[in-house]
Amino acid sequence: MFRQRMVLLTLSLLACTVVAPLARSIMEKKMFYITTTGKTGQARFWAIYLGNHDCKLTRKAPGQAEKQIVASVNLHFLSSGYVEGNGYGVSGKVQSLPTMEIRDAAGERRISIDSIDFIYDHGTKVALKGGARGDFVINVEGDKKMATRFLMREYKLTMYFGEEILKEGSDETAISAIAFSKDGIARARTAQAQAEQGQSQGQQE
């Protein structure tokens, strides 16, 4: 179990020149990561950008019936344990709280951060603590997406007029895998190496 310490995330989350405001509380969750250059690090408060996606959402405008819209949504995986979506559609700003799923030979099923051993292959694959492995799918209100980016930004606690707040502690870091334990990141490194080897062999054929 991780220490549930609530602090205010006062800064906006920047991702690829698109501002996704996250003025909400965020929880601490220790995470180990591997950068695309092979270095290992860890973070306590973090947000991972999963890319910008065109999502089909059902929304109701004042005085109008529900209708399907296409919105450009930035997806972020937060240390609070969930994925958040922010973006814009034809009617203006949209927000969504997608769910996480694994897709394997048994089909698709919902998962939580506590069930995840590690995520690898640049955010597209997930391994569960029970041993299952498959595609890491983000279910945006029925529109299934996969990560197109895997960029981590770390936040650091700092004192501001006697209160603890979070401030950006790093630039965006391109990562290939994450885990939530030291043993998990070791398994993630092995899985990532196997994935890269398979991709390299596929390109040579």
Element (H, E) at 100: strand 99-104
- pLDDT higher for 94 or 198? 94
- Domain boundaries, given as residue ranges, for the chain: 6-200
CA angle at residue 34 from 119 to 87, to 5 degrees? 60
Q: Assign 190 a pLDDT band (cuts: 50, 70, 90).
A: very high
pLDDT tens-digit series, residues 97-109: 999 999 999 999 9
Instruction: Give the SS3 label for residue 2.
Output: coil
Q: How far apart are CA 126 and CA 145, in angstroms?
A: 14
Backbone phi, then psi, for 119, in 5-degree steps? Answer: -120, 135
Q: How confident is the model at residue 9 (pLDDT cuts 50, 70, 90)?
A: very low
pLDDT at position 205: 59
Q: Span 3-27, mean pLDDT?
A: 45
Please tell me the distance from the alpha carbon of residue 135 to that of residue 137, in angstroms, as a whole number: 6
CA pair distance 20, 100, nearest whole angstrom: 20
Burial of 129 (0-12, 13-18, 19+ CB in 10 A): middle
Please state, in angstroms and rounded to a whole number, the distance separating the CA atoms of residues 171 and 139. Answer: 28
Q: What is the mean pLDDT of the chain?
A: 87
Q: Closest Cα to residue 169, out of 5, 11, 7?
A: 11
pTM score above 0.75: yes
* pLDDT for position 161: 82
